[in-house]
Amino acid sequence: MKVSSRIILVIAVLFVLCASAWSILHLGGSGQGVPAKSSIGMKRFVTADSARSFENASFEDTDGATRGLDGFGGRVVLVNLWARWCPPCKEEMPTLAKLQSLQGGEDFQVVTVAIEDVEVPEVVKALEELGAPNLPPYRDLNTSLTQELGAIGLPTSVLLDKRGLEIGRLSGPAKWDSDAALRLIRDARAGVLGGRS
């Protein structure tokens, strides 16, 4: 199987999973098309069983250079995998932007990575339209990061401690500006949460 065929297959599978999650959340399983309440909390955040680093994970930065998660050493990092065609991804993006505005700095960073084969200006435009111009337009063109993180759907958010070890993850959309999410990030920044050794 060619690399481009593999990428298309991975994107197609992620699209189906993303569409399914959106359908369940917004149709509530009722089939009546009534939107679900937007009170998605941190109940689905799953703490990592053991320390796991992602040394081989890479993605493209805004200049097209390959970058790894180790470049954020010393910071707590929330890695968010998303796509422009994913409704739940678009729904949570403004909350990620607010989280970055409220808590971003020298010891915390939201790292958004689009898993699409598009140019940086298209990702920048999408982030601006979603009310998230303060988030980075990184891209995972060859799905290296997506595979390394073991993401099985979109959006997927993985929280890393200051050593780059996984604290935990959340599959599906979340309200990242909720009290529960802000508390989670504050605890991670304070070192109360950390990748288990």
Under a CB-based contact definition with an 8 Å cutoff, are residues 175 and 54 in contact?
no
Looking at 3.40.30.10, 3.40.640.10, 3.40.50.720, 1.10.10.10, the CATH number of the domain 3-190 comes to: 3.40.30.10
Among the listed residues 109, 102, 107, 68, the one whose alpha carbon sits nearest the alpha carbon of residue 191? 107
Q: What gap in Å lies between CA 122 and CA 111, rounded to an integer? A: 17
Q: What is the pLDDT along the chain (197 residues), one digit of tens a residue?
A: 565 656 555 565 555 455 444 433 433 333 323 222 333 568 899 999 988 999 889 999 999 999 999 999 899 999 999 999 999 999 999 999 999 999 999 999 999 999 999 999 999 999 999 999 999 999 999 999 999 999 999 999 999 999 999 999 999 999 999 999 999 999 999 988 765 54
Among the listed residues 183, 165, 194, 181, the one whose alpha carbon sits nearest the alpha carbon of residue 54? 165
Distances (CA, A) of 39 to 25, 174, 181: 11, 8, 12
Torsion sign across C-alpha atoms 101, 77, 180, 154: positive
Please report, for the chain, the start and end positions of each structural domain, with discontinuous segments joined by +: 3-190
